[in-house]
Amino acid sequence: MLEAVAVAVDGSDAGYRALDEALDMVGGRGRVLMIDVKDVVAFVQPVAPSTYGGSTMASLETLLEQWDENAAQVSATALKRVAETQATAQWKVVTVQDGEVHAAQAFLDAALEGKVQALVVGRHQGSSVIEGLFGSFPRWLVTHASLPVVIVPPPLTGK
């Protein structure tokens, strides 16, 4: 068993599956560093077209406020899951601004700072075409991280 792992928790089913796996990896007794990446660039892209008709700042501010509210709920849910074990947990939000590092790099940097032994991330059931074109958070970690990376797959569907 490991003493400390970092897990990407974003409120998705994949993130919660990753958290459950992280708790198993520390035997329900170690330390779990839960990291949620607030990628501001992801908010700017959807509202960018409206810049031609006016300012996006109000829209961006609204989206970021909603993200903060959602992150508070995600944190509460995740901490409740951890409380059912004997593990210790820390919640950390890492913000990535436009022009800064990739979201996965920000996650890795926070994990390294937290002195963990492994990284745990969930894999979403996304488009393989989109992942192939633009990369993915887990793929980036596997190819760049200096720590072991555990990718928790989505559940099998009825095939």
DSSP assignment of the chain equals --SEEEEE--SSHHHHHHHHHHHHHTTTTSEEEEEEEEEHHHHHHHHGGGGGTS--HHHHHHHHHHHHHHHHHHHHHHHHHHHTSS-EEEEEEEEE-TTS--HHHHHHHHHHHTT-SEEEEE-----HHHHHHH--HHHHHHHH-SS-EEEEPPPPP--
Q: Identify the pLDDT of residue 78.
A: 97
- Find the mean pLDDT for residues 153-157: 81
From residue 147, alpha-carbon distances to 30, 80, 91 in Å are 17, 27, 20
Domain boundaries along the sequence of the chain: 35-100
Instruction: For 82-125, write each residue's pLDDT tens digit.
Output: 999 999 999 999 999 877 788 999 999 999 999 999 999 998 76
Closest CA to 137 of 106, 115, 95, 98: 106
pTM above 0.75, yes or no: yes
Q: Report d(CA 159, CA 149) in Å as an integer.
A: 27
- 33 vs 43, residue with greater confidence: 33
Split at pLDDT 50, 70, 90, the class of 48 is very low
Whether 137 contacts 104, CB under 8 Å: yes
